Amino acid sequence: MDITREFIKTLAAANGLTIPEERLEVVQRQYESFLRTLAEIQQLELPRETEPSILYTLEDMK
Amino acid sequence: MSGDRASSLSRRRFFEVSAGALTTALAVDTGAAALPPPSSPAPKASGALDLTRLTIPQAAAQLRDRKLSAVELTQATLDRIASVDPRVGAFITIAADRALDAARQADREIAAGRYRGALHGIPFGVKDTYYTRGIRTTAGSPVLADFVPDADAAIVERMKAAGAILVGKLKLPEFSFGGTTPGCHNPWDLSRNAGGSSGGPAAALAASMLMATMGGDTSGSIRNPASTCGVVGLKPTFGLVSRHAVVPISWTLDHLGPMATTVEDAAILLEAIAGHDARDRFSARVAVADYPALLNRPVKGLRLGVLASSELEGFHPDVRRAFAEAVTVFERLGAQLRDVTFPARMRTAGSAQEIIRIAEAATYHRQYLTSAAAAKYVSDAGQPGTAVSRVRTTVEAGSLLTAAQYLQAQRARTLFLADTRKVYDGIDALLSPTMPAPAGVPASPRETFRSWWNLSGFPAASLPCGFSTDPPGLPIGLQISAKPFEDALVLAVGHAYERATEWHTKRPAL
C-alpha cells in the first residue's frame, strides 16, 4: 500500500488533527517508520490468549 | 538560565540552543579533557571543606552538628553554579532567592533542635519536567515556556518535607525526547554533549554544582547521561516512586529517580522519595526499605549475571574493556558469575517500547497539537541532525497509530515481561554496560540494553566504571539491574563496587 501525503492528511483529519501542508512530508516519513516498527512486532508469535500489559502490576513478582 | 522570576524562553532562544548543540555534535573530535588524578571528595589542601565536593552524609554531618549552615552550603552551591554553569549549561531556571529563604528556614529548625535527617539543608535540583510551585516548568519546550504550576511534584514535596533545598530546574531536550540534551555540555569535555534526556541533572552533578538531582527515564534517560557524565543514576522499579505532577512522555514507561555522585547518596535520596502515592495510579503499595542501611549487604555468594560478550556486538572497545574489568572486581569480591544471553524474540522489545511510547506521547500531546500551542514546538522543518527536536513530527505521526496497533505492542510487552522474569530466575542481579560508547562516539550496537528495563519496569542503575582511551578521558558506565522491588540489592551491588574502586571519586577539571 502506498502511503501518500493525501493519505496522511485524510488520516489526520479523521483523528481530528490538521497537519499543515508544509509538514506532511516529514510526518509521512515518520509514519512509514512506525509502520516498519509495527511490522517487526506483528512477526512475533504471541500465544493466542496474550493480554496487553496496560495496567500491569509487579507486586506479585517480588 | 534565569532568576526566580519566570521569563519566557523564546523560540529564538530554543533555536540558538539547538544550533549550539549541533555545533557541539559536529566538533566531537577536538580532544578530551585530561583525566584528573584520583581524589577523595571532601577536604581541600588547606584543611577547609570544599563545599562543592561533599557527599550527602559528609554535608549532613556538618549541618547536623552546626559546623556548617544550610545558608553557607546553599550560597556555595549558587556561587559554583554562577562560576561553572555558563560553560556547562545544565540549568534552565535557578531559584536563588527561594533557595536561600528555604536554607534560612532549615537553619532555624536545626538550631531549634528539629533536625529532620540526612537531607535537611541539602541543595538539590530537578529536571524541568517536575512541577514546582511558583517556579516555571518548561519541559524544555516553548510550548510550556510560561507554565508556572501551583503545586509541587510528589518527589519535590517529599524532598522538601525531608528538609532539602530546591535550587533550580535542569535542562533536557524538548519534552524529554532524545538521548542528547541540546545546549548542555559534558563537564568531562565541553565540546561534547551531556547525554539525555536527563542531561542537566547529570551535568550539574559531574560539574560539582549539585550533590543531588532528580531525573526521568522512559527509554534510558537517567542511565544514559549518568554514564555519559560519570555519575550515578537509578531508575527504580516501576511503581516505587510517584510520578505525580511531572510532564510525561509515556504513562506506562516513565520512571523517575535519583541521580548523585555516589551510590550511598542515591540510596539516601531513594529512601526520601519512594513510597505509595494514590495520585499516581501505577504507584505500588510496597513497604519502603531502609536503602542506606541495606547498602552493606555482601556481594560474596550473590549470583550475578554477566551480559555475554556475544551480546556486545558493536560496542566500543573501551566499553567492552571497562565492563570486563568491572566483572573481575565482582569476581574478586566473591560473586558467582554466569554469562547471560537473551532469547531472540526479546529483540522485539525495542519495537514494542517505541510504539507504546509514541502512542502514549501522542495522546498526551493532542492537547497541544489541537491548539495554538502546536506552532510553538521547536521546528524541525528542513533541519538535519540529531540535536534538532523532532517532537512535533513524532507526536503528529504517532497520532495516526490505531488503538489496535498500540494494544498489539502492549501484548508483545506481556511476552517480554515473562521472558525477562525467566532471565532473572537464575540470578540475583545482572551486570551490563550502560552505553555502547562514550559521549559522542559513534557506535552501531545490535541492541543498547537500556529501554528493555523501561518495558519490564525492573530496577536498573548506572555507575562509573572507567574512562575511555580513544578518545581519552570520557566516562564509561556499568549498569546493574535486578528483579522488581530489589532496588536495595541494585544499590548494594553498586556500593560494593564503589568501595572496591575509585572511579566515582574522579571529577573533571573545570
Give yes or no for residue B404 having a pLDDT over 50.
yes
Ranges of each domain in chain A: 5-42
Spell out which residues of chain A touch residue B396, defining contact as CB-CB under 8 Å: 12, 17, 19, 23, 27, 30
CATH number of the domain enclosing B373: 3.90.1300.10
**Does residue B3 fall inside a structural domain?**
no
Phi, psi for B431 (deg, rounded to 5)? -105, 135
* Cα distance between residue B79 and residue B73, in whole Å: 10
Please, are residues B262 and B252 in contact by the beta-carbon 8 Å criterion? Answer: no
Please, are residues B474 and B439 in contact by the beta-carbon 8 Å criterion? Answer: yes
Give yes or no for residue B58 having a pLDDT over 80.
yes
Give yes or no for residue B229 having a pLDDT over 80.
yes
Give yes or no for residue B226 having a pLDDT over 70.
yes
**Does residue B41 fall inside a structural domain?**
no
Nearest CA in chain B to A10: B400
Contact A59 B421 (CB under 8 A): no
Write out pLDDT tens, residues B71-105: 999 999 999 999 999 999 999 999 999 999 999 99
Cell, residue A34: 512506525
* Cα distance between residue B418 and residue B482, in whole Å: 15
Mean pLDDT of chain B: 90
The pLDDT value given to residue B388: 54
Contact B408 A41 (CB under 8 A): yes
Give yes or no for residue B258 having a pLDDT over 80.
yes
Q: Closest Cα to residue B399, out of A31, A20, A56?
A: A31
How many folded domains does chain B comprise?
A: 1
Flag the least confident range among B16-20, B43-47, B54-58, B166-170.
B16-20
Q: Which parts of B230-348 fold into alpha helices (H)?
A: 263-273, 317-332
DSSP per-residue string spanning A4-62: -HHHHHHHHHHTT----GGGHHHHHHHHHHHHHHHHHHHTS---TTPPP-SS---GGG-
Q: Can you tell me the mean pLDDT for B217-235?
A: 98
**Does residue B1 fall inside a structural domain?**
no
Please, are residues B188 and B230 in contact by the beta-carbon 8 Å criterion? Answer: yes
B463-485 burial by CB neighbour count: b if 16+ within 10 A, else e?
A: bbbbbbeebebbbbbbbbbbbbb
The pLDDT value given to residue B118: 98
Nearest CA in chain A to B251: A54
B132-154 burial by CB neighbour count: b if 16+ within 10 A, else e?
A: bbebbbbbbbbbbbeeebeebbb
Quote the percentage of chain B above a pLDDT of 70. 88
Flag the least confident range among B43-47, B323-327, B365-369, B443-447.
B43-47
Q: What is the pLDDT along chain A (62 residues), one digit of tens a residue?
A: 789 999 999 999 999 999 989 889 999 999 999 999 999 999 999 999 999 987 655 665 55
**Does residue B94 fall inside a structural domain?**
yes
Give yes or no for residue B39 having a pLDDT over 50.
no
Rg over alpha carbons for chain B, rounded to the nearest Å, is: 21
Q: pLDDT-derived band of residue B481, with 50, 70 and 90 as boundaries? A: very high
Flag the least confident range among B2-16, B245-259, B495-509.
B2-16
Beta strands in B57-98 (DSSP E): 91-94
Q: Which residue of the set B127, B169, B171, B483 is catalytic?
A: B127
Quote the percentage of chain B above a pLDDT of 90. 85
* Cα distance between residue B259 and residue B54, in whole Å: 15
The region, left, alpha or beta by phi > 0 then psi within -120 to 50, assigned to residue B178 is: left
**Nearest-neighbour CA in chain A from B12: distance (Å):** 20
The region, left, alpha or beta by phi > 0 then psi within -120 to 50, assigned to residue B208 is: left
Write out pLDDT tens, residues B309-360: 999 999 999 999 999 999 999 999 999 999 999 998 898 999 999 999 999 9
Spell out which residues of chain B touch residue A41, defining contact as CB-CB under 8 Å: 348, 351-352, 355, 408-409, 412
Chain B from 442 to 501: CB within 8 A of any A CB: 457, 483-486
Give yes or no for residue B36 having a pLDDT over 50.
no
Give yes or no for residue B37 having a pLDDT over 70.
no
B93 bridge partner residues: B169
What is the ipTM, given to two decimal places? 0.91
* Cα distance between residue B481 and residue B203, in whole Å: 23
Q: Can you tell me the mean pLDDT for B202-211?
A: 98
Task: Enumerate residues 6+ apart whose C-beta is below 8 A from B62.
Answer: B49, B54, B68, B73
B197 is an active site residue: yes
What is the domain range of residue B280?
49-505
Q: What is the pTM of this model?
A: 0.91
Q: What is the largest CA-CA distance in chain A?
A: 51
* Cα distance between residue B248 and residue B280, in whole Å: 12
The pLDDT value given to residue B308: 97
Cell, residue A27: 510526518
Cell, residue A16: 481530528
DSSP per-residue string spanning B329-357: HHHHTT-EEEEE---GGGGGHHHHHHHHH
Return the ∠ at Cα A41 (arms to A36 and A43), rounded to 5°.
Answer: 95
**Nearest-neighbour CA in chain A from B285: distance (Å):** 8
* Cα distance between residue B418 and residue A56, in whole Å: 12
The pLDDT value given to residue A2: 87
